[in-house]
Structure 1
């Protein structure tokens, strides 16, 4: 090309290139900005908190972790979403102080905290007992699931179901904090398909009104052979926040169905522990089922009457209905798996109401800070139910020589029998099945007062409080409908707690607190000389010391505790063959808890810890059982999980967890029966989630596998009932958030 032509081309090309660069620059900048926005959204999604150590301590109100003389873990809605949790038991698989087992014969989740039972009746919502759906609870409608380790009779009042000596669970409903539209589609093995939606908005002048709605639906076969589950949940929360006042109104509906769900197993006297069936094996009868339906509502109002002072009041109710056909196995030969089983049909209805009111405030006198609380609470519960066992034909029971109430089966090759008619044996059918008779009613009332004083700029916090509680329980005959027993007892339960904070990130604490449960009633029996005698409420006493440390995004808690709980037995009398039912026994549980939660870096997260238990009988008839292990309480429990988000794999998080449980006693050995124990077990879980941005909205894909090697193991022996661990369970979900 001639020089002149080249020069001309260059003169024309440079302006053209410059113009092209000028036109392209805004597009590049927009693309880079969009990329940066996407990175921010992804990082924000990955940084959501899954657990905190703050908590709502009932009468003491909400407290920050290091200012609390108790061990509290609060699992957030983000954890429920990330771990695809479907029940409270799934959520509490993260807690080393908790194990989840089943109630007798059915699929109700029962929690064991520090070696003591917490029944489904004794889980609180927003500090109120009796409102939570009993048996099975879906966690999706709740902003947090709080676990308070230890007794709580002062903090939350006596539990109406008589459990909760080792700990309390309190649920906080989801409420509107911002505009939210979140939809999740889910799939689980073998064919559980469903999803949930979570919608929220604030509106009106100054955004004073809020509305939050949640819906859940799942239906399909689980990883256990022939087991089917169906769940329908709806909840709504309305709130109004204006000036010094706040008002909340929460509604909930749950419908839980389980068909041919794998039952628990009991062992006949002196029967060796059978080998564990296949991980997915099912020994339930096709006609067994559980159907639970609950409707509940609660309202709360708060009014700031002066600087630092708040009046509050709350009330709620629950209407519950449940029916079920149950059939659990009793193994009669541990080597062959030979067993017997029965039929039990139970329809039940519950009507509960609860309320509380109080005042809390902060003030300073002579340089000493005070956190004052006073209030009152009331809870009323009524239960109506009937029951019927079945009569089985000779053809299904003669081979093992059992009575008409049972049939012959086998743990490893379960017999399939038809649904039998109701039993004709007197005493094995009771109550009307058209209009269920009232069986029991209870009323719990209390008043409380406390003060937490702060010394040396709140580096020393001392809490003292008293709650006076009255428990009234009536029992009624299912046939005559007349009241058979009445129980009316009152007790005062104190609390003392101390927190020392030598540094902002370190605290040491101690507490003495009591548990309170309805006292027992002596059984009606011709062999008991005091039938129907009602005993005073059980008072357990807990002592606990510990330390909490916050460092580099981590919160570590160390707790040492001891709890003594009364127990009952039949004491012989001078009259041959007759005994007296007495409350003269005692069980002592003590242990060490160590937990570690948080994010030491922006790519690593820890969740879990370890608990060491020593649960033994310390007082028994003539000391025969003193020093023996309590049934179903492992020597140690480990729940530990980790999440890793590699910087090189933007938006991707790998998850892993291990659950370990020590040996568990199945029975208390005697001169005629040897000790039976479940061996220790270990389970591994793996998962991953990936966050990406679609049209400026976060989308999260999750996949997880519980019990990845499909290990077979006996999970729990609490109460003497063997519960088999779940098989490998794969879950996947896709969440879109607007």
Structure 2
């Protein structure tokens, strides 16, 4: 995209391929810790299971309770047969009365390129519709908006933010579709909630054998990355394990003018013995992204959706930058107190500071007319956030004849304090057009101060009993939530509003397995969202919307045969509806209000495994009917929920010629959707990814070379996101990586 700017042209590319070592990052970690004086210590989640290490398709045992052997991976290695189910721990897919998918490290490495959005990985589940960018990790889960703050790390909520999420230290991802407070506890989110389901990222643990692995990547126009992965076990019976993952990334992505710099280190320490298991994860990351603007709203002068502009262009302005730094601590501990009973603790903290946020006003530009014109209205500020979580509980088994009760009792609490800019200024620095570029007349103001904007406090208790009798399983549980949300005026620090709420969220389900290969189930689950403080992106920032409960009914079946696991589910979800409306007297500013409820009904089908000798498959589709109900005076009853495609599908196919060479392709289809009360239609689109992998040895050093092309045909398209808003798609991106086991 051409820029007609009086300002200095874009900086030359700074790219470095540097060996990423602990020493290169540790000083920054220490300085940050001293500056922030992180005086918060929490402990660790229990029912969470230790994650195994996967190398290609070899599975390494990591402990008696948590071990996964090769039989736990479906043929092809894309998906596991089991995964973590909240604080219930590790469960087989066939025994879980919900739609469950656990993506392996193989899947993460194939589709999680350093310059790809988080949804490039997650959308391998048909429940998830991609709607994010490198800047923001937005996506929808069964049609409900989500981002990093609504996910979990090692069973602990709030460890990621809404911005670019690191995945280089992640081993696998558990995805459970549908609301599930009854088995996941209480977490504090920002600009999202967990109504659509439970997503849990599990960190890499040390395998049995020593490992030293270096990976060099190149992607986009000139982005170089270096990653170290070092693991050792030691002590009696190798009871202690340490795994260190580091990142050093720098350069221009496939979007012209978008430069991304990141460096981070994550350390995972685990311990196991006959009586206990403990896991401690801590990590620090710095991130800075210049340019890369993709996000637009439509003003009142737009009568039809403008055709999609070039996805490789940058729609920002000189001086746009987002930068953050933060560290996390996540602790899990389980202690056996008898043969059948154990106690557990899960705890964590996330201290993150958005240190630079020079961006469009309300985070997006508003397209004024059908020609694609927009004003460069910009602002600046920061959103420092501190999140804390703690959970304690006990699990046990009681057998009475042929009936077995698997009981869990837990209490938890979550806190989040968030700051925001003390002044919500709006400055005009020029004009732009999505097809012809921008004319920038001045540089944006970069000075800002922050003040307290919000405090959240949530706590609750849970009781769950899974009853087993012959071929039947009955799950009965209840979760009680209490929530307190206070809103503050950042400039004065004075409280501007508050809401206290509580609710019961029951969970019940029945599973019948007429044979080991077949499982039939029906379930009811719920989640509860505390009152929502309207963010600074809206005209009515600081208002608090009423708490909303989400309810789901689901029936389904799972069948495994001939190397393929097939699942089928029907679901019906309802939730109170938060919508965006133009503020009175404005054509560019929006209010967020609550009106009626959304109802999401759908069908989901997935198939994962081995199609034939040398051919592996992964994917599925979801048909979603998301409509609005009980709106004010029935005005919008029956209307589509904005931005929710009726069709969403993904299919990945791998040809594994031999142990050395494989070819992988993926196709993703998102159907059309409507926004702005069905006045604008966002067309559907299909994208293709293609890659090859070659394993060899250089002298005695095992090496793996991977070439991947995302959006192979370089298709330009709009993605509906965040209600009535749209994102420019990601362009064709080529990623080359070389991995060496030293």
Larger mean CA deviation between 262-271 and 677-686 belongs to 262-271
Distance 1:534 1:644, change over 3 A: closer
Distance 1:607 1:455, change over 3 A: same
Deviation at 1:48, TM superposition (A): 7.2
Distance 1:622 1:581, change over 3 A: farther
The reply on whether 1:345 has 2:380 as its aligned counterpart is yes
Deviation at 1:406, TM superposition (A): 6.6
The reply on whether 1:451 has 2:465 as its aligned counterpart is yes
Mapping for residues 162-177 of structure 1, pairs under 5 Å: 163-177=193-207
Counterpart pick for 2:104 among 76, 86, 93: 76
The reply on whether 1:485 has 2:485 as its aligned counterpart is no
Aligned partner of residue 645 in structure 2, secondary structure: coil
Distance 1:72 1:85, change over 3 A: farther
Indicate conservation of the 8 Å contact 1:341/1:408, yes or no: yes
Deviation at 1:341, TM superposition (A): 2.8
Which structure would you say has the larger Rg? 1
Distance 2:247 2:579 in 1: 45
Q: Deviations over 1:208-262 (max 9, x none)?
A: 1110100112211111111111121210011221221122211111222110112
Residue number in structure 2 paired with 1:396: none
Distance 1:523 1:183, change over 3 A: closer
Deviation at 1:81, TM superposition (A): 2.3
Distance 1:522 1:88 in 2: 25
Residue number in structure 2 paired with 1:562: 572
Distance 1:581 1:347, change over 3 A: closer
Counterpart pick for 2:342 among 292, 306, 310: 310
Aligned partner of residue 121 in structure 1, secondary structure: helix
Larger mean CA deviation between 164-173 and 409-418 belongs to 409-418
Deviation at 1:197, TM superposition (A): 1.4
Counterpart pick for 1:516 among 519, 525, 528: 528
Mapping for residues 126-165 of structure 1, pairs under 5 Å: 126-161=154-189, 163-165=193-195
Indicate conservation of the 8 Å contact 2:260/2:289, yes or no: yes
Counterpart pick for 2:717 among 713, 728, 732: 713
Aligned partner of residue 723 in structure 2, secondary structure: helix
Question: What is the number of residues matched between the two proteins?
Answer: 653
The reply on whether 1:386 has 2:396 as its aligned counterpart is no
Indicate conservation of the 8 Å contact 2:230/2:244, yes or no: yes
Counterpart pick for 1:257 among 288, 307, 313: 288
Distance 1:735 1:582 in 2: 50
Mapping for residues 348-359 of structure 1, pairs under 5 Å: 348-359=383-394
Residue number in structure 1 paired with 2:7: none
Residue number in structure 2 paired with 1:429: none
Distance 1:581 1:231, change over 3 A: closer
Structure 2: where are the runs of 5+ without partners? 1-54, 60-72, 582-590
The reply on whether 1:587 has 2:623 as its aligned counterpart is no
Counterpart pick for 2:661 among 652, 656, 670: 652
Counterpart pick for 1:726 among 718, 725, 730: 730
Structure 1: where are the runs of 5+ without partners? 1-40, 393-404, 424-431, 572-579, 670-674
Deviation at 1:77, TM superposition (A): 2.0
Distance 1:534 1:49, change over 3 A: same
Distance 1:706 1:69, change over 3 A: same
Distance 1:411 1:43, change over 3 A: closer
Deviation at 1:710, TM superposition (A): 1.2
Distance 1:521 1:111, change over 3 A: closer
Deviation at 1:727, TM superposition (A): 1.2
Residue number in structure 2 paired with 1:400: none
Deviation at 1:684, TM superposition (A): 1.2
Indicate conservation of the 8 Å contact 1:345/1:387, yes or no: no
Indicate conservation of the 8 Å contact 2:214/2:228, yes or no: yes
Q: Deviations over 1:273-315 (max 9, x none)?
A: 1111123122211211111212011222111122232211121
Using the size of structure 1 for normalisation, the TM-score is: 0.84
Distance 2:580 2:633 in 1: 11
Residue number in structure 2 paired with 1:439: 453
Distance 2:365 2:444 in 1: 19
Aligned partner of residue 87 in structure 2, secondary structure: helix
Mapping for residues 114-513 of structure 1, pairs under 5 Å: 114-161=142-189, 163-178=193-208, 179-271=210-302, 272-322=304-354, 323-327=356-360, 328-334=364-370, 336-386=371-421, 388=423, 405=428, 407-420=430-443, 433-434=448-449, 436-456=450-470, 459-513=471-525
Structure with the larger helix share: 1
Distance 2:625 2:162 in 1: 29
Aligned partner of residue 121 in structure 2, secondary structure: helix
Aligned partner of residue 78 in structure 1, secondary structure: helix
Deviation at 1:146, TM superposition (A): 1.6
Distance 1:359 1:706, change over 3 A: same
Distance 2:534 2:241 in 1: 51
Deviation at 1:133, TM superposition (A): 4.0
The reply on whether 1:59 has 2:73 as its aligned counterpart is no
